[in-house]
Amino acid sequence: MTHSLTSTEQVLGGYLHQDWPGEFSTVDAAVAAMINAEPRSLREAAVSEIDALLARETDEARLRTILTDEAGCYYNPASEGSSYRDWLSGLVVRLAR
């Protein structure tokens, strides 16, 4: 199933792509750059898409596949002891500020 993640792909795929560790020292630095550079309207659209995704998908493996394949996000929150669901929930809060 394809999800409508156009805005999410722009923000996550634009900053947390395959080479993101070479550009940013941490995922928090990448997210901060994203928040500082991207317009509020794009961030709000991504928040709506992520909220809808979290409402539909409960399986961690599916969230990982969707984020990687459909949004171009190559950050794996398990590398820092978190789940995709928890990381996305926290990201939504940061993007909505």
92: tokens are: 């939504």
In a domain, 37, yes or no: yes
Task: Provide the pLDDT confidence category of residue 4 given band limits of 50, 70 and 90.
Answer: confident
In a domain, 1, yes or no: no
Decide which of 26 and 4 is more confident.
Answer: 26
In a domain, 38, yes or no: yes
8: tokens are: 């999410």
In a domain, 84, yes or no: yes
Q: What is the pLDDT of residue 88?
A: 98
- Tally of domains within the chain: 1
In a domain, 11, yes or no: yes
- pLDDT tens digits, residue range 56-96? 988 999 999 999 999 999 999 999 999 999 999 999 999 99
Q: What is the pLDDT of residue 23?
A: 97
Is the model's pTM score more than 0.85?
yes
In a domain, 54, yes or no: yes
- What's the DSSP call for residue 50? H
Task: Provide the pLDDT confidence category of residue 2 given band limits of 50, 70 and 90.
Answer: low
> With the CA atoms of 8, 12, 15 and 17 taken in that order, what torsion angle do they form, in degrees rounded to the nearest 10?
-120
Q: For residues 16 and 57, what is the distance between their CA atoms, to the nearest angstrom?
A: 21
Q: For residues 2 and 93, what is the distance between their CA atoms, to the nearest angstrom?
A: 24
Which residues span the domain enclosing 19?
6-96
